[in-house]
Amino acid sequence: MAGFDKIVVPDGGAKITVDEGKLNIPANPIIPFIEGDGIGRDIWKASVRVFDAAVEKVYGGDRKVHWMEIYAGEKAVATYGDGVWMPEETFEAIRQYLVAIKGPLTTPIGGGFRSLNVTLRQVLNLYACVRPVKHYESVPSPSRRADEMNMIIFRENTEDVYSGVEFRSMSVEAKRLIKLLKEEYGMTQIRDDAGIGIKPMSPTGTKQLMRKAMNWAVEHKLPSVTLMHKGNIMKFTEGAFKDWCYEVAVEEYRSHVITEAELWDEAMADDGVTPIEKPGAYADLRGGKPAGDPNGRIVVKDRIADSMFQQIQTRPSEYSVVVTPNLNGDYISDAGAAMVGGLGLASGANIGDFIGLFEATHGTAPKYADKNVINPSSLMLSGKMMFDYMGWTEVGVTLENAIQETISQKRVTYDLHRQMENATKLSTSAYADAIIENMK
């Protein structure tokens, strides 16, 4: 056991390991957690009680999580000293223990980090950001079609304009790059006083993401995978992203998939009539246009990013798995979250080859910190994802059902309360109590 400086390894727990390419989960796993800043403190306190209660409910005393606190953000500074926002042993603990969960973190101003979250994702190569967007019954929504929404977004997590390669307007670096681009590549359209950002996107980053998304679609028997991109404008980055994703789908998952174009052709070849006239069982996945029957295969299709924002509002049921570059993924997941109840319910995970770091997707909402009012469902539902990832799916089901039941009883925190009629407003801790009470 590597000795840590400040991290205390709990007695009685065991490490999650990788055996023959698969996670091996002991009955008493040690799971590191980062409490998080601001409302992180409120939501962690509530969530950990709910997690322990769900594990106890499902397995009696046969399985138990041993939580191990690791540090980042303000608590890291308080624990390790000034300027230490992200101690090296935090990365090391996650590398060693493989599955971890975290609350939101303040982005330090002038701390040498663009963002602590982005740093965690990049250093640990957590290349897939996975965000389910699912509507729970009774949750108020501004959208008339919210109940049709059940999408899971796979957002590339390490490249794109998030890579941190940016140069300020008039800096030496920006000026040199502009000169090079003008003189060597004839890019005369760039203004001399422009700031410059670089958007790297690679087949390596893209394909590893697409494999995660395809595996998910296959395992969960989902109807479609949509590639969301802006390749009509950014041909060698987002356009290439789309092409690389299609390559993975048809070269590595051939028996599971049919592309939308193939489906169209099949519909014509089949009976010789135009596809538009053929009544297809899969019509709803083609924007209402009839097409062929995919015979249980996953339809792989692509959509331009901007159109996706109206598509998810007008025809959410046509989208199941969505695969997209980093920035698009950031935008579409918040837009999706808004449709299904807001950030208080938005869960997420950052996943690499084996490491899974589960997190509430919202920020630290400082004005609500330590007030015991905020909605902890985001972290609780991220916990559900974590238990699913560990293969403890019964715990995930118990958690999700109890949250659903509590919301259906209209016992909710302030954020949902202000949008619901005749609801009971609960504090964060009372909401956790209600969820525990509703565990069956």
Site membership for ligand NAP, residue 329 (CB under 6 A): no
Identity (one letter) of the amino acid at 19?
D
Q: Output 318 or 330, the one with its CB closest to ligand NAP.
A: 330
Q: How far is the CB of 381 from ligand NAP (least distance, A)?
A: 11
Q: How far is the CB of 428 from ligand NAP (least distance, A)?
A: 9
Q: Output 16 or 381, the one with its CB closest to ligand NAP.
A: 381
Site membership for ligand NAP, residue 105 (CB under 6 A): yes
3-state secondary structure of 336: helix
Q: How far is the CB of 278 from ligand NAP (least distance, A)?
A: 46
List the beta strands (DSSP E) in 337-428.
347-351, 356-360, 411-412, 424-425
Q: Which stretch binds ligand NAP (CB under 6 A): 99-107, 229-237, 268-276, 278-286?
A: 99-107
The answer to whether 224 and 320 are in contact (CB under 8 A) is yes
Tokens, residue 390: 């560990």
The answer to whether 57 and 438 are in contact (CB under 8 A) is no
Q: How far is the CB of 5 from ligand NAP (least distance, A)?
A: 24
Q: Output 34 or 263, the one with its CB closest to ligand NAP.
A: 34
For CA atoms 96, 97, 101, 102, give the dihedral sign: negative
Q: Output 163 or 350, the one with its CB closest to ligand NAP.
A: 350
Residue at shortest CB range from ligand NAP: 363
Catalytic residue selected from 71, 162, 319, 368: 162
Give CA–CA dist 405/407, Å, rounded: 5
Interface residue with ligand NAP, options 163, 350, 375, 382 (CB under 6 A)? 375
Q: Residue 136's closest CA among 342, 391, 388?
A: 342
Q: Output 129 or 267, the one with its CB closest to ligand NAP.
A: 129
Using CB under 6 A as the binding rule, the residues of this chain from 22 to 81 that contact ligand NAP are: 39
Q: Residue 326's closest CA among 165, 235, 201?
A: 201
DSSP symbols for 80-149: H-TT-SS-HHHHHHHHHH-EEEE---PPPTTSS-S-HHHHHHHHTT--EEEEEEEPPTT---S-TTGGG-
Give CA–CA dist 83/101, Å, rounded: 23
Match 């590893």 to its residue by tokens: 208
Which x/- pattern, by CB under 6 A, does the window 414-433 give for ligand NAP? -x------------------
Interface residue with ligand NAP, options 280, 344, 383, 396 (CB under 6 A)? 344
Site membership for ligand NAP, residue 104 (CB under 6 A): yes
Annotated catalytic residue 330: yes
Q: Residue 116's closest CA among 201, 37, 31, 30?
A: 37
Site membership for ligand NAP, residue 363 (CB under 6 A): yes
Q: How far is the CB of 343 from ligand NAP (least distance, A)?
A: 4
3-state secondary structure of 327: helix
Give CA–CA dist 308/261, Å, rounded: 18
Q: Residue 263's closest CA among 300, 237, 234, 235?
A: 300
Q: How far is the CB of 105 from ligand NAP (least distance, A)?
A: 4
Annotated catalytic residue 221: no
Site membership for ligand NAP, residue 380 (CB under 6 A): no
Integer CA distances (angstroms), 174 to 188, 191, 200, 236, 438, in order: 14, 11, 17, 22, 58
Catalytic residue selected from 212, 230, 278, 301: 230
Catalytic residue selected from 302, 330, 388, 415: 330
Annotated catalytic residue 306: yes
Identity (one letter) of the amino acid at 329?
G
Site membership for ligand NAP, residue 131 (CB under 6 A): no
Q: Output 13 or 352, the one with its CB closest to ligand NAP.
A: 352
| Residues near ligand NAP, by CB under 6 A | 39, 104-107, 117, 342-344, 359, 362-365, 374-375, 378, 415
Q: What residues are annotated to the active site? A: 162, 230, 306, 330
